């Protein structure tokens, strides 16, 4: 048992699934908890693509951290950016705020997308990791159709209405399917001069199949389901270049104004802070109890941790892994504070993998059970509703999904910066390009300008 009269200080960095699980598991265990996050909300990331495609609003999938943990009197919330850790002095450094001491440190900082050494591509492609990213994707999608509606050049219309999604994992599959439904089921009723159903959606995967972590039959079903929605699936198509005009992959150029990057991930720099061994993606290699070797008072969990499962392969970057990590680390620290023996080494309990493809289409891998189509879709809906934080979010999402099912509508189709629509003469740095004279005449019907 801790003999210091002062209560142990536990600092948790990150309020994702892992960080929140750890904070909840430690409350009432005799420690003072400080939870630090760059934002003031917990984000339900599995539904982020629905915000990006106007199916849900930002507030539907995010909840204030203070509201979630308001009943934990031993927990303090701090909104700030952690920029370093001094493990020798046992302090966490928060940008523009100061230093905070700890007795136990839990790093749950998550991951960002990796550009595989091509960081310049970030200027021309959009990622999907935060609410700001989702708002940017939604803006690009909706404004592309608005620009196409006002355009008279058929080639430019085709470029505007071509959307490229890079990455054939669950996020890429879900985003591509949702874009297809947005164009073919919702926006088709909103425009007069263009035909949204003629939008081209390309899903590119560098590997030989989609959803590589799923069984092969589910991958094959996913390709067929996407094809039925009009999505072009490119396999073994590594990206070679992304620029302002589109993307080059498999030796072919696709002209597009909207490229969405859903490929590999890289852990945030926790390993650098600690000088610890890291995996190829930058994740901290942790011991069986999730502690960082050489730092038994520091724990890493979720996407920022690299740990092998029972099959000898690294655990996947799933919310379920992070949550189970968080609960386990809370037990480890609570046992140390109470002077009890440590729990057995962490063992991930695989609850299955899910991916939704579109309306009534999904895949579910639940151990030996594999589901596709409508049953998998219903199961996906139920699981995600139950995992959402807060009754209000569950109710609002349920109502929105029900409305969308019966009406094919998407109520969050708002462009919040309308002054920039059509401003393709303004580049990323805000510098104005010289505008060339354009033909301002508009054709009378959509058939005259629809992409061929």
* Full DSSP string of 242-298: EETTEEEETTEEEE-SEEEE---EEE-THHHHHT--B-TTSPEE--TTSEETTEEEE
pLDDT at 445: 37
Is the C-alpha dihedral spanning 324, 325, 326, 327 positive or negative? Answer: positive
Give the global pTM.
Answer: 0.86
DSSP H or E stretch at residue 204: strand 200-205
* Full DSSP string of 121-174: GGGT-B--SSHHHHHHHHHHHHHHHHHHHH---HHHHHHHTEEEEE--SHHHHH
Q: How many CB atoms lie within 10 A of CB 90?
A: 18
Whole-angstrom Cα distance, residue 326 to residue 348? 12
Q: Is 3.50.50.60 the CATH classification of the domain at 119-262? A: yes
Could you tell me if 152 and 442 are in contact, meaning their C-beta atoms sit under 8 angstroms apart?
yes
pLDDT at 411: 59
Residues of the chain with CATH 3.50.50.60: 9-113+265-338, 119-262
Q: Which CATH architecture has domain 9-113+265-338?
A: 3-Layer(bba) Sandwich (3.50)
Surface-to-core class of residue 318, CB atoms within 10 Å of its CB (0-12 exposed, 13-18 middle, 19+ buried): buried
Is the C-alpha dihedral spanning 283, 287, 289, 292 positive or negative? Answer: negative
Q: In what order do the strands lie in the sheet with 369-372?
A: 353-358, 361-366, 369-372
Token pair listed for 269: 């720099």
pLDDT at 435: 40
pLDDT at 417: 62
pLDDT at 399: 82
- Tens-digit pLDDT string for the chain (452 aa): 554 568 999 999 999 999 999 999 999 999 999 999 999 999 999 999 999 998 888 989 999 999 999 999 999 999 999 999 999 999 999 999 999 999 999 999 998 888 988 999 999 999 999 999 999 999 999 999 999 999 999 999 999 999 999 999 999 999 999 999 999 988 988 899 999 999 999 999 999 999 998 999 999 999 999 999 999 999 999 999 999 999 999 899 999 999 999 998 888 889 999 999 999 889 999 999 999 999 999 999 999 999 998 888 899 888 999 999 999 999 999 999 999 999 999 999 988 899 999 888 999 999 889 999 999 999 999 888 887 877 778 888 878 777 777 666 665 666 766 444 444 444 444 444 444 433 433 333 333 333 33
Strand, coil or helix: 226: helix
pLDDT at 230: 95
Whole-angstrom Cα distance, residue 283 to residue 278? 5
pLDDT at 438: 39
Residue with tokens 């695989």: 350
Q: Which residues are marked as active site?
A: 174
Whole-angstrom Cα distance, residue 424 to residue 421? 8
Q: How many CA atoms lie within 13 A of 206 on its CB side?
A: 11
């Amino acid at each position: 048992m801790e003999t210091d009269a002062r209560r142990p200080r536990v600092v948790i960095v990150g309020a994702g699934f892992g960080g929140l699980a750890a904070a909840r598991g430690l409350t009432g265990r005799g420690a003072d908890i400080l939870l630090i996050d760059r934002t003031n909300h917990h984000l339900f990331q599995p539904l982020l693509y629905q915000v990006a495609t106007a199916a849900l609003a930002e507030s539907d999938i995010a909840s204030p951290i203070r509201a979630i943990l308001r009943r934990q009197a031993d927990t303090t919330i701090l909104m700030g950016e952690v920029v370093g850790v001094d493990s020798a002095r046992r302090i966490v450094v928060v940008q523009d705020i100061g230093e905070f001491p700890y007795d136990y440190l839990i790093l749950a900082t998550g991951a960002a997308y990796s550009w595989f050494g091509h960081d310049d591509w970030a200027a021309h492609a959009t990622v999907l990791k935060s609410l700001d990213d989702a708002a940017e994707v939604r803006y690009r999608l909706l404004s592309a159709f608005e620009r196409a509606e006002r355009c008279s050049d058929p080639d430019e219309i085709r470029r505007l209405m071509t959307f490229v999604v890079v990455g054939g994992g669950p996020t890429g599959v879900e985003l591509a399917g949702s874009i297809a439904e947005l164009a073919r089921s919702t926006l088709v009723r909103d425009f007069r001069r263009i035909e949204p159903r003629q939008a081209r959606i390309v899903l590119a995967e560098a590997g030989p199949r989609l959803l590589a972590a799923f069984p092969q039959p589910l991958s094959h079903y996913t390709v067929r389901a996407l094809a039925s929605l009009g999505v072009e699936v490119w396999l073994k198509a590594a990206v070679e270049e992304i620029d302002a005009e589109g993307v080059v992959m498999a030796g072919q150029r696709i002209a597009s104004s909207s490229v969405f990057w859903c490929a590999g991930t890289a852990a945030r720099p926790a390993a650098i802070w600690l000088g610890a061994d890291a995996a190829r993606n930058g994740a901290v290699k942790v011991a069986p109890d999730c502690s960082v070797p050489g730092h038994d008072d520091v724990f890493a969990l979720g996407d920022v941790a690299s740990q092998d499962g029972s099959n000898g392969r690294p655990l996947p970057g799933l919310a379920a892994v992070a949550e189970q990590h968080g609960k386990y680390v809370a037990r480890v620290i609570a046992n140390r504070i109470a002077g009890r023996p440590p729990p057995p080494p962490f063992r991930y309990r695989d609850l299955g993998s899910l991916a939704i493809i579109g309306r009534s289409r999904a895949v579910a891998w639940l151990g030996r059970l594999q589901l596709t189509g409508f049953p998998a879709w219903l199961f996906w809906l139920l699981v995600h509703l139950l995992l959402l934080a807060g009754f209000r979010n569950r109710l609002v999402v349920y109502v929105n999904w029900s409305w969308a099912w019966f009406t094919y509508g998407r109520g969050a189709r708002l462009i919040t910066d309308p002054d920039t629509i059509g401003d393709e003469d303004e580049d990323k740095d805000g510098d104005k390009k010289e505008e060339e004279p354009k033909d301002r005449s508009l054709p009378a019907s959509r058939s005259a300008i629809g992409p061929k």
